[in-house]
Structure 1
Amino acid sequence: MIQIEKNKRKTDQAWNRLYNRLDNEGLIPETNSRNSLRPALLRWGMATAAVVAICVSFSVIYFSGKETQPAQPLLTQQNKEKSTLVTTLEDGSVVYLAEATSLQYPEHFATEKREVSLQGDALFDITGNRKRPFLIETEEVRVEVLGTAFNVKTNGNVPFELSVQRGLVKVTLKKDGQDTYVKAGETVTLLERKLQLRHTPDKKQFASYTRNMRFKDERLADILRVINLNEPETQIQAPPQLSKRKLTVAFANDSPETMVELICMALNLKYSKEKNTFILSE
């Protein structure tokens, strides 16, 4: 009961902050009261939690250590090469690790949330789950995925910077609770202990992770999903019996057909083409 009451208080506090912000910005219709508007906004918030892609560049990201469940064993992926190392998490989320980057994540995510620990730069493509939000903790800032693609940087000159490619991200400054919602085309930067919003200066930063990709002992189904995501005009399909076969392969800015040929050579497969779709077979 004590934990339920704590959760209720936190929910009420978050709702009050959101309502006050919308009210200050003149976004609350006069005919709506505080309580009558709450269900509608909660439904809107859940609707935004779709498939997301996150580009993250943190010097340190860590687990908050507030799990109510027993700690799960952590797995580690490290990329020491220049090409991007791509891995798929348990929930289907895809992580693109840049050079000199390591990722720690639980073998099984907690039932109420998903958290990862990252050191370095990475692009995340997050599978939406309204019941298990994706949270990223940094030393000074918390990032909550609301349905989006974004790039985050921290370095000696800029302690925190987040650029949204699509959708919506909530960023909260831990020290004083200051928060802001960042939408597509916007960048938030932590300067002089304040979150400052502006237009994104470099919109090409998201594509830099997918030019040279490397997969290490990944399922064929996951590799094809990543390729198809980044090559929407050309698709690669494989029958279910091939989906769990694992593969280590690298692509260096290759065409879809070249990627198909490399996969077939590695797994001793054949392929055919129907319009813009490549079909793999044994």
Structure 2
Amino acid sequence: MKDDRKLRGLYQKVIEGAASSDEQALVARWLDQLDTDEGMDEQAADEWKARSIAELQKAIKPPIPIQSRARKFVWVASAVVVLLVAVTALLIRFYNQQPTEVKTSSQVLAYTEHSTTAGQRKLLTLADGSRIWLGNVSTVRYPKDFQPGKREVFLEGQAFFEVSPDSTRPFLVHTGGLNVRVLGTSFNVKSYSDEGVQTVSVATGKVSVKPTNDGQEWMLEKGQQVSYHLATKKGVMQETDLSAALNWKDGELIFRDMSLDEIAVQLERWYGVTITIASPSVNNRQLSLSVKDEPLQAVLKMLSLAGDFRFEIRGNHVRIWK
């Protein structure tokens, strides 16, 4: 603060024409030596610029006594011009020292995010022409502009991907436990955080599937599926019923030898309800059913006949018992 007051005093003396040659030289040296940190970010640079201009304004704005001698008036005007030129030159030098903004792969990317609620599905079309059918209670996130060497998508929940071919930019899907890589194909990914198993099912082409932190890799072709168990970090590749794995995107629910527990989870997401199974004895009954655009009441009626249980719907809550 003491140095600031001294400099302001010297500014005033220079402007009023009262500064000695030594004082004028001191101000000139200060202006010449003034520099900034080359690592300063844009916000700090703006603040520095504002402070510099404010300091200059403080130095030149105080009322200047009217001088009767024209020579003194000319000298004062010249001093103001010199100060303005000096500070302007310093600002130009400062901004020339700042690194030019370059977009690199390490730069923070802007993302687009889409989510669905229970009973809701969405069809999304990406900039490259690829399409995503987003399932119930799911979220997908991807850069607004894909990077030159890859197309990355992050998924929580379920989605069916129809990928436009591009040999120079592989299409990557990241879940909480798996990395899926393709060049141009169609496949389904199911990855809910509250389930212990993640699955990838292939409809066309070939798909590479690798766990996030593991050396395993599976190459899947049409009709094949890998089920990856998060707890054991083990995966099983097998042939699958594509209609059961993929028809959800067309509004069809297909259950093939599934326990009532597993079916209840899907019904909750599909219809936006909470299901309580009050009788443990019916939890593990294996049931099969295929329905499309049916109300919950009708679906539960068909399941209850096959599973020999009773149910009650009250608002958004369903109770099942023996």
Q: Which has the larger radius of gyration?
A: 2
Which structure has the higher relative contact order (CA within 8 Å, separation 6+)?
1
User: Which structure carries more helix by proportion?
Assistant: 2
Task: Output the TM-score relative to the length of structure 1.
Answer: 0.47
Task: Output the TM-score relative to the length of structure 2.
Answer: 0.42
User: Which structure carries more strand by proportion?
Assistant: 1
